[in-house]
Chains A and B, each alone.
Chain A
């Protein structure tokens, strides 16, 4: 029965070719194994959680604050959320924390023992370091507040208490602003701070004081962690709003590691405004040295560096105003740093 005419042994050349093919197949297999072992997290999530609805509650065995103030009793188990599940709890607000480097959120609801219809939720955002905690605090600080002596930067705005404690940004949200509820919320905040030792505190007063005082809109100083002015190469920048007659503009400053770093940051920001935003450089004033003014189409940007600081004016309504505030900011920096 003839099937194939060949019955000879393979030649050395054929064996080499076969070995090469086998090696190539082994290489493909190794590549596949390597790729599969580093599966995209997005696909992994889609595989395992695509149908998930509830069930993302990560209950904690212990209360967030122990012992609780006498006026409160636990209403729910404490929950914990990692950065990738943060939006399960706070939806689109998660982006505010993610961009500032959040490490996790723990939260728990407590009811007033004497009036269970009133309840309080404690949110503790672990921001990794005090400056990040201050960043999310400052970007959300309400305008009409009562300062409290509970912890760093603590204030009350209606039914809510907010504070910074080391690397933690803390919000205590109550269902109402009745005296008993607010007293319980204050006691809870106090108890949390007392029970949570931290090694470092956010101290931004020295950097904030570098801004001019005249015209500063109270409570407007904010520390932006990332993507400042939409520029992904710029982070950790203080911004503050100033009144200029009937107008408002923003001043900014950022401490860098040294003069060279600050100069490079100023050049990069200028490049962003001109190359990416379509701005046009319209002036290089004599003071402050190295400053540039950019017409951003309807508003003006001013950028300079001095020593280890990057500084400037953002969204000023006029070129003259930009020039004037650049000089004010430069003088303030020279005087106070």
Chain B
């Protein structure tokens, strides 16, 4: 076979030229393959397929010396019940210090009027802002990720106007605010896009949620409220709604939560739509233990924590207690 043939023999009679030619061809093939692989390589794979070792998406926002506390105040005026509940917890100053940067995570999931109680009531959001600023907070941010048209959700729920009037800063979710977050050891929250941008520099986190029936989860209260920190096609988590709520309970450790049961949505949640879905239950809860708050909230819906499987599982994992009575909650009435 001639040295100029496509595959000249390599043997004792091989020439240096034949060897170099073959080596060049092999090198070109390797380079082409490598180039193709580099061209096809996705440097930004979807979160669920990422292989990075998960790191906790959020720090622990609890106040170390506050312990597990809870206050239950009855009344129709949300501002008064909230103020009284926080006083019973030792005052807002116990939780918010001068210079703190605070996030109030509201439920602004729907572009619905506040009268339907499908979202955090604007009075609660605004009063939390005022209280935090009054305690010396440097900045109070209010945010949520409603997915569908956040601007309308915040505007029509009344939250945008009330927060602005109270001196808070509304943070509408932008694409740049999302980053992959994980729950260490989590099964569902692994490199999942989360609303983490607003948390830069934040030192305290407050959750504020209404008491609602939920078609899939049974109820939507303070722990389910963290669902609004998830981005992406989070609706797939509805297939394991209890699992995702438990992981959110593990992931998010707030300074305290506010559960607004002034009006509770008993049916057709989480959207409701009719005033007939609501029942005046005239109760507001503040708690450093979201599991305890939600276990109490279940009673406002005519249920017990046994009806909400995620609460027992979250308690088993050390996220709180379903036996809210064990916290010896402070009770008062400001009707």
| Chain A residues with a Cβ under 8 A of chain B | 1-7, 42-43, 45-47, 49-54, 56-57, 76, 87-96, 109, 119, 121, 140, 142-145, 157-160, 171, 173, 175-177
Is A46 a contact of B49 with CB atoms below 8 Å?
yes
Interface size on B, residues (CB 8 A): 59
> CA separation between A95 and B173, bound complex, in Å?
25
A95-B238 contact in complex given A53-B174, A56-B148, A175-B115, C-beta closer than 8 Å: yes
**Is B174 within 8 A of A50, CB to CB?**
no
Q: Is B24 part of the binding interface, using a Cβ–Cβ cutoff of 8 Å? A: no
CB distance from A6 to the nearest CB of B (A): 6
Contact call B273/A171, Cβ cutoff below 8 A: yes
Inter-chain contact B215/A92, CB cutoff 8 Å: yes
A92 interface neighbour in B115, B220, B232, Cβ under 8 Å = B220
Q: How distant is the Cα of A3 from the Cα of B22 in the complex, in angstroms?
A: 12
For B268, the closest partner residue in chain A by CB is A140
* Chain B residues within 8 Å of A157, by CB: 274-276
Partner pick for B10 among A4, A42, A88, A121, CB 8 A cutoff: A4
Q: Of B13, B145, B215, B233, which is within 8 A of A46 by CB?
A: B233
List residues of chain B with CB within 8 A of the CB of A49. 232-233
CB of A92 within 8 A of CB of B216, answer yes
A43 to chain B: closest residue by CB: B46
Name B276's contact: one of A53, A90, A143 (CB within 8 Å): A143
Binds A, one of B106-114, B301-309, B311-319: B106-114
Q: Nearest-CB distance from B173 to chain A (Å)?
A: 4
CB atoms of A177 and B178 under 8 A apart? no
Tell which of B42, B46, B267, B275 touches A177, judged by Cβ atoms closer than 8 Å. B275
Is the beta-carbon distance between A92 and B113 smaller than 8 angstroms?
A: no
- Besides the known contacts A5-B12, A49-B232, 16 further A-B residue pairs in the complex with CB atoms under 8 A apart: A1-B19, A3-B14, A5-B11, A6-B10, A7-B1, A50-B231, A87-B235, A92-B269, A93-B268, A94-B238, A95-B238, A119-B156, A145-B276, A157-B274, A159-B275, A160-B274
Residue B93 CB within 8 A of the other chain: no
Bound CA span A121–B14, Å: 84
Q: Are A142 and B267 in contact (CB under 8 A)?
A: yes
Could you tell me the distance in whole angstroms from the C-beta of B36 to the nearest C-beta in chain A? 13
Inter-chain contact B275/A96, CB cutoff 8 Å: no
Contact status A56-B147, CB under 8 Å: yes
Residues of A within 8 A of B47 (CB): 46, 50
Whether B147 contacts A53 by the Cβ 8 Å rule is yes
Residues on the B chain within 8 Å of A159, using CB = 115-116, 274-275
Residues A89 and B175 in contact in the complex (CB < 8 Å), given A1-B14, A142-B276: no
